[in-house]
Chain A
Amino acid sequence: MIAAGLSNLGVLAQIAEFTPLDTPEVQWAALLPLLILAGGGVVLLTVSSLVKAMAAPGVNAAATVLVGLASIIACVPVWQRVQDPERGPFTAVGGVIGIDGFSILATGLIAASVILAALLLDDYLRREDIDGVEMYALLLLSASGGVIMASANDLIVMFLGLEALSIAIYVMAAMHRRRIESQEAGFKYFIVGAFSSAFFLYGIAMVYGATGSTNLVEIATFLANNLLLRNGVLMLGMALLLVGFGFKVSAVPFQGWTPDVYQGAPTPVTAFMASAVKVAAFAGLIRVFYLALGTYSLDWKPAIYALAVLSMIIGATFAVVQTDVKRMMAYSSISHAGFVLVAVQAGTEKGVTAAIFYLTSYVFMVAGSFGVISLVGRRGDAAHSLDDYRGLSRSRPGLALAFTVFLLAQAGVPLTSGFVAKFNVIAAAVDARSFWLALIAMLASVIAAVLYLKIIVAMYLTGDDAEADDSVAGPKVSIPLPAAAAIGIAIVATLAIGVLPGYLFEVAGDAVPVLIALP
């Protein structure tokens, strides 16, 4: 017995001598912003289900805002570490997550859109009788998916992030149980999203087949050192990846779902979709095409050129003929995607800086716009036609003024963030000698300006000048405090970036993504 036991011990000792399984270094400190978002979502869901006091109005929203703030604060030391010239960008979790200025700025932007969306959701959910913790938990989990996507250094990790981001949003879009439009939006977004992620995944498979790796650094190194004589598989992979991204950023001709989903989804969710999803998708697009496939830029530039032209022109033109303000904003977001693509198409550091600048300004413009729309939509989330905005300047002058600022910013009027953003994009295009593209971008912003003026006119001019001044009383909109705070934050950001663009420009310049190999 004892002898057998001793020999067992000997075997154990032998096993113990083997080197332990080689696990990659995780760098928990650098992942803190991401962990706060993901952990916050899970903890919020658990605690809120167990503790009765969490059901009090506003508690869940306040908790979500705090989690978002904590995530932004956690970004600061990581940013400082990355910008420190002695330390610089680094990788985490064995090289599949890249921590550089780009990923941290994207994290901050996504966390900011979580805060804005949570503030807008607070009153909305109670107004629609669907209050609960689910929406906030999904919001945080979806944001963590977006962060993973924006900081992925490996195509498969990017795919996982994309799915975590999207799957939570399918549910959020369909969350309004009594509005059939909301379920329809959820279904459409789900089918199109699954379709596009299948294309994205097939693209990853093709790139893997051509280069032998899914790691962005290894792909870039392989393509730089090897000349592919038959690069059909790689080209197919790039095309399929572009289709997948095209759906996610809603570039024409992959934009069909956007107006329907933006219109049908609960408006605060639309605000999140338009801001955070665009940031995450463009971050992924820039990482894959600018960094990993940079050596083949001559092949992908024409495709992005075409997508940019189509998105800008078709988005702006279709927006003008709409009568539903939510659909107008959906088409205008397609047009904005075209502008960011113009910056990406330049394929230079200047272009990427312009894209980052544009996305940062866009998050606040669009979240603010949808914030106003969600208030004007009132109970039932249905009053979204242009007629519902007539006379808003009389009943709610402050709200009308706020919407005017956001619309002027989207149109690119000086002293707002939109002007500097558009200017940078066009300058980057000219710098990359894409003169025609720059011209088309200017033309598209003129067409889009008509759209924004249409809404402003509806708010300020009631149409019938002959009749008495109070012929149109304007919609009776109540403005709850959290939503007002969200709109206020968005206005301050929009104007601050517009008046003092230098700071953001510096930050955007520091946030240009870099390839980081394993040390």
Chain B
Amino acid sequence: MEVTGTWYLVLAAMLFTIGAVGLLIRRNPLVMFMCVELMLNAVNLTFVTFARMLDDVGGQSVVFFVLVIAAVEVVVGLAIIVAIMRRRPGATADDIALLKG
């Protein structure tokens, strides 16, 4: 059985869905955070696959930009989570719900 580009696209779509669903149902801020990374890396896989299918180097270079953005998001996101955890150790996303109405 030949493994074509479509397989990778489907795999990426599945990873993206897992990430998106995980972000919506998990309550631990760190796990939610990992789900975001999963989504971004699923997109990276899509870009590389398309780049190979189209025989175009542009899609591969995009991945580097996305990796940098993902790293920047990690820094800022962790800083915010640490700031919250200092005040309220062990807080889950359900605890972070003062604002409503």
Contacts and interface: CB of A to CB of B under 8 A. Distances in A.
Given A156-B62, A190-B76, A209-B46, A202 B16 contact: yes
Contact of A195 (B23, B43, B46): B23
B101 A259 contact: yes
Given A160-B65, A202-B43, A191 B23 contact: yes
B72 A167 contact: yes
Contacts of A264: 98-99
Interface in B59-95: 59, 62, 65-66, 69, 72-73, 76-77, 79-81, 83-84, 87-88, 93
Contacts of B36: 191, 194-195, 198
Nearest to B100: A260
A213 interface: yes
Contacts of B73: 163, 167, 194
Interface string A119-153: 00000000000000000000000000000000000
A187 interface: yes
B43 A198 contact: yes
B96 A170 contact: no
Contacts of B62: 156, 204, 208, 214
Interface stretch (A54-62, A177-185, A460-468): A177-185
Q: What DSSP secondary structure best describes chain B's contact surface?
A: helix
A287 interface: no
Contacts, number: 110
B96 A187 contact: yes
A83 B15 CA distance: 47
B84 A205 contact: no
Interface residues on B, range: 35 or more
Interface stretch (A223-231, A322-330, A354-362, A506-514): A322-330
A322 B99 CA distance: 13
A208 B83 contact: no
B48 to A, nearest CB: 10
Interface centre among B53, B56, B58, B100 (most CB of A within 10 A): B58
B20 interface: yes
A444 to B, nearest CB: 21
A212 interface: yes
Contacts of A208: 47, 50, 58-59, 62
B69 A163 contact: yes
Nearest to A322: B101
A218 to B, nearest CB: 10
Contacts of A159: 65, 69
A184 B84 contact: yes
Given A208-B50, A259-B101, A187 B81 contact: yes
Given A156-B62, A263-B99, A322-B101, A180 B46 contact: no
Interface centre among B20, B33, B39, B72 (most CB of A within 10 A): B39
A188 B50 CA distance: 33
Contacts of B25: none
Contacts of B84: 183-184, 187
B14 to A, nearest CB: 13
A195 B84 CA distance: 20
A170 B72 contact: no
A213 B98 CA distance: 44
B43 to A, nearest CB: 5
A321 to B, nearest CB: 9
A291 to B, nearest CB: 19
Interface of B: 9, 16, 19-20, 23, 29, 32-33, 36, 39-40, 42-43, 46-47, 50, 53-54, 56, 58-59, 62, 65-66, 69, 72-73, 76-77, 79-81, 83-84, 87-88, 93, 96-101
25 contacts: A159-B69, A167-B73, A167-B76, A171-B76, A174-B80, A174-B83, A184-B98, A184-B99, A187-B96, A188-B96, A191-B36, A191-B93, A195-B23, A198-B36, A202-B16, A202-B39, A202-B42, A202-B46, A205-B50, A205-B59, A209-B9, A209-B53, A212-B54, A259-B99, A264-B98
